């Protein structure tokens, strides 16, 4: 395993006025060293102020909630300006609704899945109260060949991994603040396809858009990391479908299975259309039901993707000889 260690600097944590409010954005500088950048999703010099939403799981909150923050390459230097720096922006949710991060503290991070380009991070806040990890981080940063309060470390940090194991898996809570969502919505067509590059982001954004409930039944069953609402593709990834929120809806696990088998589809006006050869009272009870429409049109199903499902998935179960559905 590889860990990323960052010592927090005063200049990164904003300026606090007499009203006790923060008057500049709080962020973490990320070193331009390849050794440090390898932890983060790749960003481009050619695209001005390129960015990617990154999910952070705050171990210091004893929570497996995924909190999305913007990772931005302020690359004005290559576009007529002077800035040339990477920043990972903090937000209230990440800091427990207050200014939790203090100068001199350390953030200890590792990727949730090291094989993915943008899998998100487990992150722990290390203060002087935690003497063992604090002095470990301090020694690692002081010995690091990368200046500015950065270090990487390969191995297993047992206290960190103990906290990860205590989470008992990732739960279903997701936080995507307005700045992260607005940045994603303003991305160009080509860029937005790069942003939504994995199933985890597809699922998380859909859960936020559909308020954590099934688009059809508006129900969910949840206990810890057990959750019966899933992100269903309209056009599967295997058929050149994308991970964009507009290519999916949320469905309970049984309805997701039926949707993928073509037991039902959606009409042009986004109503349930059950195949006439399906023998399922439950599915037929949902006939013509209009799906929940997210408040933000960013999440609205793309009509072309809905059409693709009707034309290519609806009735697919007949090709395998399966006729009966759910009773």
What are the tens digits of pLDDT across the range 162-173? Answer: 999 988 666 678
Q: What band does 324 get if pLDDT is binned at 50, 70 and 90?
A: low
Q: Is 327 a residue whose pLDDT tops 50?
A: no
pLDDT tens figures, 71-102 = 999 999 898 889 999 999 999 899 987 789 99
Element (DSSP H or E) covering residue 215: none
Concatenated DSSP letters for 35-87? HHHTTS----SSSTT-EEEEEEEEGGGT---EEEEEEEEE-GGGGTS---EEE
Per-residue HEC secondary structure of 230-295 comes to: EEEECCCHHHCCCCCHHHEEEEEHHHHHHHHHCCEEECCCCEEEECCCCECHHHHHCCCCECCCCC
- The pLDDT of residue 189: 79
Half-sphere exposure of 17 (CA within 13 A, CB side): 6
- Highest mean pLDDT of the ranges 23-37, 91-105, 258-272: 258-272
pLDDT tens figures, 202-228 = 999 999 999 999 999 999 998 877 899
Element (DSSP H or E) covering residue 24: none
Range with lowest mean pLDDT among 18-27, 81-90, 150-159, 283-292: 18-27
Residue 109 φ/ψ region, left for φ over 0, alpha for ψ in the -120 to 50 degree band, beta for the rest: beta
Task: Compute the mean pLDDT over every residue in the chain, rounded to the nearest whole number.
Answer: 90
- Do strands 27-30 and 85-89 pair parallel, antiparallel, or not at all (unpaired)? antiparallel
CB atoms under 10 Å from CB of 115, counted, come to: 6
pTM, entire model: 0.88
Q: Are 184 and 192 in contact (CB under 8 A)?
A: yes
Exposure class string for 239-254: b at 16+ Cβ within 10 A, else e: eebbbbbbbbbbbbeb
Contacts 24+ apart (CB under 8 A), 63-66: 63/167, 63/171, 63/173, 64/167, 64/168, 64/169, 64/170, 64/171, 64/173, 64/225, 65/93, 65/171, 65/173, 65/174, 65/175, 66/120, 66/170, 66/173, 66/174, 66/175, 66/204
| Cα–Cα distance measured from residue 49 to residue 312, given in angstroms and rounded to the nearest whole number | 39
Token readout for 26 is 């709080």
- Do strands 222-223 and 174-176 pair parallel, antiparallel, or not at all (unpaired)? unpaired
Q: Is 310 a residue whose pLDDT tops 60?
A: yes
More confident residue, 198 or 262: 262
| Cα–Cα distance measured from residue 220 to residue 189, given in angstroms and rounded to the nearest whole number | 32
CB atoms under 10 Å from CB of 42, counted, come to: 12
- The pLDDT of residue 134: 97
- The pLDDT of residue 325: 47
Please, what are the domains in the chain?
2-166 (2.40.330.30), 205-320 (no CATH)
Per-residue HEC secondary structure of 166-212 comes to: HCCCCCCCEEECHHHHHHHHCCCHHHHHHHCCCHHHHHHHHHHHCCC
């Amino acid at each position: 395993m590889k860990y990323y260690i960052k010592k927090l600097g005063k200049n990164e944590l904003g300026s606090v006025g007499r009203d006790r409010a923060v008057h500049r954005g709080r962020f973490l500088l990320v070193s331009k060293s390849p050794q440090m950048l390898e932890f983060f999703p790749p960003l481009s010099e050619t695209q001005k102020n390129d960015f990617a939403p990154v999910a952070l799981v705050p171990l210091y909150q004893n929570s497996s909630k995924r909190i999305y923050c913007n990772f931005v390459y302020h690359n004005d230097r290559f576009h007529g300006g002077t800035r040339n720096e990477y920043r990972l922006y903090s937000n209230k949710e990440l800091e427990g609704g207050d200014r939790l991060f203090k100068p001199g503290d350390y953030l200890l991070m590792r990727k949730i899945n090291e094989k993915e380009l943008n899998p998100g991070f487990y992150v722990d806040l290390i203060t002087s109260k935690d003497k063992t990890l604090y002095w470990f981080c301090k020694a690692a940063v002081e010995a690091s060949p990368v200046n500015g309060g950065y270090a990487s470390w390969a191995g297993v940090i047992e206290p960190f991994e103990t906290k990860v194991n205590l989470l008992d898996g990732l739960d279903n809570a997701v936080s995507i603040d307005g700045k992260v969502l607005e940045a994603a919505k303003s991305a160009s067509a080509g860029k937005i396809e790069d942003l939504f590059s994995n199933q985890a982001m597809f699922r998380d954004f859909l859960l936020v858009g559909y308020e954590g409930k099934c688009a059809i039944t508006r129900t969910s069953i949840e206990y810890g990391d057990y959750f019966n609402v899933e992100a269903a593709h309209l056009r599967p990834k295997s058929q050149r479908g994308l991970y964009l929120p507009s290519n999916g809806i949320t469905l309970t696990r049984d309805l997701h299975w039926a949707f993928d088998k073509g037991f039902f589809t959606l009409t042009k006006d986004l109503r349930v259309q059950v195949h006439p050869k399906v023998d399922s009272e439950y599915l037929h009870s949902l006939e013509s039901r209009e799906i929940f429409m997210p408040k933000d049109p960013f999440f609205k199903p793309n009509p072309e993707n809905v059409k693709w499902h009707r034309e290519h998935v609806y009735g697919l179960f007949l090709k395998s000889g399966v006729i009966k559905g759910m009773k």
